[in-house]
Amino acid sequence: MKAFRLDELDAERAANQGAYLQFLRERNMSVGLYALNAAEHDPQKPHNQDEVYFVVSGRALITVGSETTQVARGSVVYVPAQVPHKFHHISEDLRVLVVFSPPEA
């Protein structure tokens, strides 16, 4: 078994001065913590993998392709591979668990 604490993952991510920390990588998936602060710009580009976002905390809008929805704690969003997507209008610091399948390269 592998078990993780979000507060420890967020501290490790911050110590490495990055918005994203991959903390689990297996044969069929990888999992990371993505963080964007309020009013910050989301620089990500489309990925080669399917993604699932689970919003742990914060509030923002996300646009996937041509669809936009509001997300907050507890929201789950699926993003198909190669589809443009961005978080924006981040009104509260955002912490998001990201599951990639297959694993992120």
Q: What are phi and psi of 9, to 5 degrees?
A: -65, -40
Is residue 104 predicted with pLDDT exceeding 90? Answer: no
Chain centroid, CA 85 distance in Å: 11
Q: pTM score, two decimals? A: 0.94
From the CA atom positions of the chain, what is the Rg in Å?
A: 13
Is residue 1 predicted with pLDDT exceeding 90? Answer: yes
What the block records as the tokens of 16 is 């490495």
User: Strands 30-36 and 76-79, how do they pair?
Assistant: unpaired
37-89 pLDDT, tens digit per residue, is 999 999 999 999 999 999 999 999 999 999 999 999 999 999 999 999 999 99
Is residue 5 predicted with pLDDT exceeding 90? Answer: yes
